[in-house]
Every structure is written in C-alpha cells, then in structure tokens.
C-alpha cells in the first residue's frame, strides 16, 4: 500500500482523516434516521384527535366585487354536519391579479372565529376593505378555514375602475396633465 505525506489526501493522515470523515458522516446520518424513525413511531402510537374535513358544495368560488376604497363582503355558508360543535376561523391568502399585482387583504371581523353548532348553517360574512390605490382587475387567491383538512376555497375579487366623481381632485380635474417622470 502506498502511503505519502501529502496532506491533500494520499498520506496516512489524509487517509485517516477521510476514514474519520466518512465515519462521522455515517454516524450522523444513522442518528438522524433513528430519530426520524422514533418520531414516526411515536406519532403513530399517539392518541388520535379527530379532526374536520371541509367539503365544498360544488365548484363554487367565493366572489366579491367593488370599486377601490369600498368595503365589500365575501359570504360563505358553513354547514356543520358533525355531531359536535366546531370552531371555524377563516383566513385569506394573498390575492394576485392577472397583471401580476399582489394584494394582501385584511379581513374585517368582529369575531375572527365562529362556533358552529351541529346542524347549524350560519353565513360567514367577511368584510374586506379595497385599498383606494388598488388597480382594477380580478384578484384571485384562496380562503382557508384554519386547521381543517382540504380547506382552501378559491376566491375571486373583481375591482372595478374608480368612478370619475370619486377620484381625488388632482386626478379628476386635471387628467390631461402628463405625469413627471420619476427621477
């Protein structure tokens, strides 16, 4: 066996270092896999907490429309077909228009969560304030009922053009003046 003093790897130190490196990597990987296996085993043996699945009635989309600056309402009927009460917490994802404009809406809710009794069908009214500077277009995203399985519902909010009389004075009265290019 050829042994050299070259620290690059051929020498006894290099070979031993390589051996140590491989051993360390192997032990680390072994430990990682063992922990992962034990974690899965623990998870499988843990007592189950029965959950809830959201089933849409059809291919419906939660829709809303309005002009910039307006407050619109998204409405969703929720039927609790389970045998016990259920807490429902709606959350909206960021919405994106076809032009690539991203908008992070905020839901206006007096009660962010709703307690639904078995057999009840309350209507969840989600108030959304459309920012006054929001460009016109259809913004798409998802409405999630937090913690439920299969809970993302498609959302589409159509934002129309701001009416001329509702536009700010400088825009409504002097539309012909060209904008100064940004420096």
Partner 1 sequence: MTARVSLIDDADESGRSTATLLASLAARLGVLHTVSGGQAVGSITAGIAALGREVSATAEGARLRRAIQTGRPAINGEAIWRTLRIGELATSQPPSPVLDQLRNDVALLLADDLQETLELLPIPPEMTGVRGEQTGDTPAEFLDFVVGYWALSREVVQAIEALAAPTLPPAGAIGQIAPPEPRSPLLR
Q: Whole-number minimum distance, CB 75 to partner 1, in Å?
A: 4
Q: Which is nearer to partner 1, 20 or 117 (CB)?
A: 117
Using the structure block, give the residue that is written with the tokens 């399985």: 149
Give the SS3 label for residue 41. helix
Q: Whole-number minimum distance, CB 35 to partner 1, in Å?
A: 5
Task: State yes or no: residue 86 binds partner 1 (CB under 8 A).
Answer: yes
Task: State yes or no: residue 98 binds partner 1 (CB under 8 A).
Answer: no
DSSP, res 149: B
Cα–Cα distance between 126 and 76 in angstroms, integer?
A: 8
Nearest partner of 124 among 102, 146, 98, judged by Cα: 146
Q: Which of 72, 116, 134, 157 binds partner 1 (CB under 8 A)?
A: 116
Task: State yes or no: residue 54 binds partner 1 (CB under 8 A).
Answer: yes
Q: Whole-number minimum distance, CB 65 to partner 1, in Å?
A: 12
Quote the tokens at residue 68. 């910039």
Contacts of 43 (CB under 8 A, 6+ apart): none
- Binding-residue pattern over the window 22 to 51 for partner 1, x denoting contact by CB under 8 A: -------------xx--xxxxxxxxxxxxx
Q: Whole-number minimum distance, CB 159 to partner 1, in Å?
A: 16
How many positions of this chain bind partner 1 (CB under 8 A)?
A: 65
User: DSSP states of 22-40 as a string?
Assistant: HHHHHHHHHHHHHHHHHHH
DSSP, res 166: G
Q: Whole-number minimum distance, CB 24 to partner 1, in Å?
A: 18
Cα–Cα distance between 15 and 45 in angstroms, integer?
A: 45
Residues that bind partner 1 (CB under 8 A): 35-36, 39-57, 60-63, 75-89, 91-95, 104-107, 111-117, 123, 141, 144-149, 153
């Amino acid at each position: 066996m050829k042994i050299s003093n070259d620290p690059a790897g051929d020498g006894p130190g290099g070979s031993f270092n390589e051996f140590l490196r491989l051993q360390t990597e192997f032990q680390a990987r072994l430990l990682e896999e063992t922990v992962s296996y034990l974690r899965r085993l623990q998870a499988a043996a843990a007592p189950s907490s029965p959950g809830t699945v959201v089933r849409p009635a059809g291919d419906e989309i939660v829709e809303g429309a309005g002009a910039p600056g307006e407050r619109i309402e998204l409405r969703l009927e929720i039927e609790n077909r389970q045998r016990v009460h259920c807490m429902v917490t709606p959350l909206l994802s960021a919405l994106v228009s076809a032009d690539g404009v991203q908008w992070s809406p905020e839901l206006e809710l007096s009660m962010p969560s709703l307690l639904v009794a078995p057999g009840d069908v309350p209507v969840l009214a989600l108030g959304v304030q459309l920012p006054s500077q929001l460009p016109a277009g259809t913004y798409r995203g998802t409405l999630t009922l937090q913690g439920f399985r299969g809970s993302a519902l498609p959302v589409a909010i159509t934002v129309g053009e701001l009416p001329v009389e509702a536009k700010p004075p400088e825009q409504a009265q002097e539309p012909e003046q060209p904008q100064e290019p940004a420096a």
